[in-house]
Amino acid sequence: MKFYIRTFGCQMNVNDSEKMAGILKTLGYELAQDWTEADVILVNTCSVREKPDQKVLSALGEFKKIKKQNPNAIIGVCGCLAQRAGYEILQKAPFIDMVFGTTNIHHLPKLLQEAKEGNKAVEILEEIDSSEFELDQYPTVRENKYTAFVTVIRGCDKKCTYCIVPTTRGKERSRRIGDILREIQFLVEDGVKEIHLIGQNVTAYGKDLGDVKFYELLYAVADIKGVERIRFTTGHPRDLDEETIKAMADIPQVCEALHLPIQAGSDKILQAMDRGYTQKEYLHKIELLKKYIPDIALSTDIIVGFPGETYEDYLETIKVLKEVEYDQVFAFKYSPRPGTPAADMPMAETPETLSKWLNDLINMQKDITFKKNLAYENKVVEVLVEEQKEDGQYVGRTRTNKLVHFYGRDNLLGEIVDVKIEKVNRFSLEGVLN
């Protein structure tokens, strides 16, 4: 019996899919190379904007064909769109056998059994089930052998007015530190070198537990022998305190890279979004980061065209991008999400104007990204080697999360090596083993 998982969305979904693969392996299933040979297909969905919603429906249209060649095949839909609109999807795509939400992934064995018996297995929990920690008993099945996501906190207590995530992921629940450290110990023993702590809002880690703070978690992870690199995503600017920034600078394994979403540069828009900071406060955090970690690579998320955003507001975002000089920016046009407060707010501009603003912003950032990459020319950087192509070329990442292609000697996979950068591209660096 084989399974196939198609994952949409963010790092949380990627890690959830790795867990589901672990559950299915525990149940005796093997990973299929392709969906056409699968007995179980899972679609792990995202609902953060309208586009991902549509992608899910077209993927389902494709997977439906499996039933012709394998009438017993089971198609399941899970993740954020399932949590938000599982019953609607079931109506639109009645051939689906299984629908479950984001907080009951650990019930997959039971749901699969129901579906195999020919029943529609539907379970979308409104309340978070405290049995969620049962997920910890399953391993993760990862594509990348040397770097691993570790979920440290689930859910989000913020109420950004555009965002569906608090609805789809529920309130903040930190995992117990002992469980996290045990998982990391296991990963390191399995050959993992880089630990990527993840959550919708990692910097809020421990608030609900009361006895441990995020920066203490960083120190505890660094104490595990074999952890060579630590990253974390996503930090909310409001919860990023000086203690955390100091710990980042102090702990050798914490990489000089941070994704710190600003969303918009205008104070009026930030307030309408309920982000809980002003442009000045955000820039102060950036200043602190650059002070303690001078060579830090920063990235951010931007929403263009939040309701009420005028050209003057948009120019404030551009101003911030020019001032901070991010290494990478993920920018999207605002997309109204059902049931969120912003969904009812009027737009100030036409969709065409907003598309132009978004395009201009992306083009401007391309030049900044290239300029940041140029600083690597002729430099020697530390690379964790993650992959080898057929022609022998290695692919890895710097501590600042830059993709590096290089040639070297045999057996470098999983090693941390020095690479001299000889060529700089827009999205990657090329070099030779130093």
Q: Which residues are annotated as a binding site?
A: 10, 46, 80, 156, 160, 163
Beta bridge partners, 395, equal: 387, 405
Q: Please state the closest distance from residue 344 (CB atom) to ligand SAH, in A.
A: 13
Judging by beta carbons within 10 Å of its beta carbon (0-12, 13-18, 19+), is residue 368 exposed, middle or buried?
middle
Cβ-based nearer residue to ligand F3S, 47 or 140: 47
Tell me the Cα Rg of the chain: 22
- The torsion angle over the Cα atoms of residues 260, 257, 103 and 127, rounded to 10 degrees, is -40
| Contact string 8-27 vs ligand F3S (x = CB under 6 A) | -xx-xx--------------
Q: Please state the closest distance from residue 259 (CB atom) to ligand SAH, in A.
A: 8
Instruction: Work out whether strand 403-407 and strand 394-398 pair parallel, antiparallel, or are unpaired.
Output: antiparallel
The span from the CA of 37 to the CA of 308, in Å, is 49
Q: Please state the closest distance from residue 283 (CB atom) to ligand F3S, in A.
A: 26
The span from the CA of 392 to the CA of 388, in Å, is 6
166 contact choice in ligand SAH, ligand SF4, ligand F3S, none (CB below 5 to 8 Å, kind-dependent): ligand SF4
Binding-site size for ligand SAH (CB under 6 A) equals 17
Instruction: Work out whether strand 194-198 and strand 74-79 pair parallel, antiparallel, or are unpaired.
Output: unpaired
Cβ-based nearer residue to ligand SAH, 334 or 394: 334
Q: Helix or strand or coil: residue 2?
A: strand
Judged by CB under 6 A, which of 12, 163, 187, 198 binds ligand SF4? 163
112 near ligand F3S, judged by CB under 6 A: no
Judged by CB under 6 A, which of 40, 43, 48, 60 binds ligand F3S? 48
User: For residue 197, which amino acid is it?
Assistant: L
Selected range binding ligand F3S among 18-26, 41-49, 307-315, 370-378, rule: CB under 6 A? 41-49
The span from the CA of 187 to the CA of 145, in Å, is 9
Instruction: Report residue 129 CA to chain centroid gap.
Output: 23
Kindly identify the residues of this chain, within the stretch 143-182, that bind ligand SAH according to CB under 6 A.
Answer: 162-163, 165
48 near ligand SAH, judged by CB under 6 A: yes
Binding residues for [4Fe-4S] cluster: 10, 46, 80, 156, 160, 163
Q: Please state the closest distance from residue 318 (CB atom) to ligand SAH, in A.
A: 16
Residue 320 · residue 265 · CB < 8 Å:
yes
Binding-site size for ligand SF4 (CB under 6 A) equals 9
Could you tell me the strand order of the sheet in which 297-304 lies? 257-259, 297-304, 328-333
Q: In this structure, how many other beta carbons lie within 10 angstroms of the beta carbon of residue 159?
A: 12
332 near ligand SAH, judged by CB under 6 A: yes
Q: Please state the closest distance from residue 147 (CB atom) to ligand SAH, in A.
A: 21
Which residues of the chain form contacts with ligand F3S (CB under 6 A)? 9-10, 12-13, 46-48, 79-80, 164-165, 168-169
Which residues of the chain form contacts with ligand SF4 (CB under 6 A)? 156, 158, 160, 163, 165-166, 200-201, 236
